[in-house]
Structure 1
């Protein structure tokens, strides 16, 4: 498993018109069929998890090239267009309440593909953990509201999920692979329009020691953790130590419920950080409190660097803040051009898609 990318997009309201969405569904199905026929379903999963290709694909379908709707509407069109029988791909989840149906839909899709029970359970676990990492372990100011899980009859999977923060939405991409490690630099390509000055990233290699100490703190018991907090107004707040110059100011209050979660974690004695984070109720505040204690008390500083690597879809044309990755850019465009040539759509839709792809390239 690897995290393949992250994109920041302007947050736009409203819905795609019905006529446009219907056209997107037709084109999404035809393009997917063409890519699968030419490159195979495994390669398609790599493409859909690639933020560059996904953005170009969304544009070809006809949606705004840089708005938050590229994620939700494109995933929605793919969910309608793709079938396990024709394309060999199952699409689960979606926006808002639909995202909470992901586990059940993975189970249903696994039955259609006749996948083994342990494989289906593994995919459900990966779906939940990917959301947990992006929502709780990477605290960049974006709250997830969209989660789409794609998987094949061989159990290969990809995740496209999106969070909301202020005027922007941020998109996260995941891809299954040989290694299953959610906390060892899982990002292979991250694209953002803006960089958060200070963001707690417990999935970073730089946070390794902080992760280990977090587990030790929990396994020592809440009473041990409690001594680092003082009570103010019925809430437990971390005692003021001398803050290092790099340290952000964070709200570190934990109510009784927070300590109850830590007590349950102590009783379970997690073996590692992944097991700790996977526990019910282990949300952002508890993760942040443990990270801060690890830093202030034990000197194990976690990463406070926003895990972004690129800006815009393929980098900035003026080289700011990152240069265009020409090889990836050209490969993304060529794959879509080939798919358009082979897609079984009428000429009007094909010309429309080619025009959209050209507009995307110009942007």
Structure 2
């Protein structure tokens, strides 16, 4: 039986992803998906999409706002642009999206079924049921506005959909996975993200079976008008329940835009820094075949490698993955486009060679993740604030860019203070 995996708060943010970042997100997101499929198969990729903590980390490593609701829209959009043109090769299709695109999901699934050979009509019905459960059976104050349906050629699927509460300026993301799903109305969720905001009516819980049956009997016996009057009377009273809620992981994405030290598990960050600075360039020559790749790119690759290979427990601090490629709003620092492009270049070369049976580079990226995990057990490093300060100080050298534009070169005084420093090698 699929189960609820956890919850998290997501501040509701507006805005658009700039084209220069959206194009990079499409390329990197597609490469990460392809690497996972190569290593573990399509089912493993669906399972990751259905994990709320992993999904947030995935968006953060691609340079989106690390804590906001916009990650959901941008990740689904990037994967739809990147995976659908290669659906015949990778065997994964993305349907739906935000607003009007979500309403096109059933038609897109029917077309995908015709192309791949699965029952698209049946999955279109599944799509409608999934949306119905999270909009009607789970009455938690959030109105659905986004529905993304990921389906493989075998007909297995994952759904990521999101609702908003405009009054509280928050969003809640819901995750579904077809693997192990036997009922749409008995605890079907693989995960739900969002803040508890008062009492939630969850008729999709397995413990609500008696309630669902009673409602059907009442509807037959009393009729809708009588039920409406009874419901109004009940609202004037207080309903209590002695049925305890299960203890689940709860990821709280804060309202503050800046990434702070308490948002990150520092020992894991120190392991990544040590692997990149000390072990990366020396011990992983396979990663240095792309000209100009140095410790800074290896650091980003180590975080990408963790997104590809990491166990669920590794994603308790999604903010840490924003230190790979920054954020479009300058938090934790502007997107280092030169580093980003080199990360894409190395990963692309590794994936292409792995498809030809030469997996040395892809194996090296995995070893880099293993090295970072070993080092984090005993290494120390600079403070979180020092890491961010260094990144911001060198942002111009790294091709730093945000929605506010390109990062300017430092002032002459600041440049003089840094005289004598060696040329940057990203």
**Interval of TM-score (by shorter of Structure 1 and Structure 2):** 0.5 to 0.7
Over residues 140-178 of structure 1, what are the superposed CA-to-partner deviations in whole Å (9 max), with x where a residue is unaligned?
Answer: 110000000000000010000000113111100000023
Do residues 184 (structure 1) and 186 (structure 2) align?
Answer: yes
Do residues 94 (structure 1) and 97 (structure 2) align?
Answer: yes
- For 1:66 and 1:52, locate their aligned partners in 2 and report how far apart those are by CA, in whole Å: 11
- Check 1:109–1:245 CA distance in 2 against 1; reply closer, same or farther (3 A cut): same
- Which residue does the alignment assign to 2:23? 22
- Which residue does the alignment assign to 1:147? 147
Match of 2:312 among 316, 321, 328: 328
- Which residue does the alignment assign to 1:137? 137
- For 1:131 and 1:171, locate their aligned partners in 2 and report how far apart those are by CA, in whole Å: 12
What secondary structure sits across from 1:84 in the alignment?
A: helix
- Check 1:205–1:303 CA distance in 2 against 1; reply closer, same or farther (3 A cut): farther
The structure richer in helix per residue is 2
Alignment check: 8 A CA contact 2:95 2:149 kept: yes
- For 1:303 and 1:27, locate their aligned partners in 2 and report how far apart those are by CA, in whole Å: 44
Over residues 98-147 of structure 1, what are the superposed CA-to-partner deviations in whole Å (9 max), with x where a residue is unaligned?
Answer: 000000000111111022xxx32221111111110111111111000000
- Check 1:176–1:108 CA distance in 2 against 1; reply closer, same or farther (3 A cut): same
Do residues 113 (structure 1) and 116 (structure 2) align?
Answer: yes
CA-CA distance at 1:65 after TM superposition: 1.2
- Check 1:239–1:54 CA distance in 2 against 1; reply closer, same or farther (3 A cut): closer
- Which residue does the alignment assign to 2:399? none
Alignment check: 8 A CA contact 1:91 1:151 kept: yes
Match of 2:252 among 307, 312, 318: 312
Larger relative contact order (C-alpha < 8 A, sep ≥ 6)?
A: 1
What secondary structure sits across from 1:240 in the alignment?
A: helix
Unmatched 5+ stretches in structure 1: 231-236, 248-300, 320-325
- Which residue does the alignment assign to 1:60? 61
- For 1:16 and 1:245, locate their aligned partners in 2 and report how far apart those are by CA, in whole Å: 45
- For 1:96 and 1:307, locate their aligned partners in 2 and report how far apart those are by CA, in whole Å: 33
- For 1:304 and 1:136, locate their aligned partners in 2 and report how far apart those are by CA, in whole Å: 22
Do residues 347 (structure 1) and 342 (structure 2) align?
Answer: yes
Alignment check: 8 A CA contact 1:36 1:44 kept: yes
- For 1:346 and 1:242, locate their aligned partners in 2 and report how far apart those are by CA, in whole Å: 57
What secondary structure sits across from 2:67 in the alignment?
A: coil
The answer to which of 183-192 and 87-96 deviates more is 183-192
Do residues 123 (structure 1) and 123 (structure 2) align?
Answer: yes
Aligned length: 277
- For 1:178 and 1:158, locate their aligned partners in 2 and report how far apart those are by CA, in whole Å: 12
- Which residue does the alignment assign to 2:359? none
- For 1:131 and 1:16, locate their aligned partners in 2 and report how far apart those are by CA, in whole Å: 25
Alignment check: 8 A CA contact 2:46 2:157 kept: yes
- For 2:124 and 2:247, locate their aligned partners in 1 and report how far apart those are by CA, in whole Å: 25
- Which residue does the alignment assign to 2:74? 73
- Which residue does the alignment assign to 1:288? none
Q: TM-score, normalised by structure 1?
A: 0.66
Alignment check: 8 A CA contact 1:2 1:186 kept: yes
Alignment check: 8 A CA contact 1:8 1:168 kept: yes
- Check 1:190–1:145 CA distance in 2 against 1; reply closer, same or farther (3 A cut): closer
The answer to which of 120-129 and 16-25 deviates more is 120-129
Q: TM-score, normalised by structure 2?
A: 0.57
CA-CA distance at 1:303 after TM superposition: 7.6
- Check 1:228–1:81 CA distance in 2 against 1; reply closer, same or farther (3 A cut): closer
- Check 1:48–1:228 CA distance in 2 against 1; reply closer, same or farther (3 A cut): closer
CA-CA distance at 1:350 after TM superposition: 6.4
What secondary structure sits across from 2:181 in the alignment?
A: coil
Counting only pairs closer than 5 Å after superposition, residues 20-59 of structure 1 correspond to structure 2 as 20-59=21-60
- Which residue does the alignment assign to 1:175? 177
CA-CA distance at 1:2 after TM superposition: 2.9
CA-CA distance at 1:206 after TM superposition: 3.1
CA-CA distance at 1:211 after TM superposition: 0.6
Cα RMSD between the aligned structures? 3.8
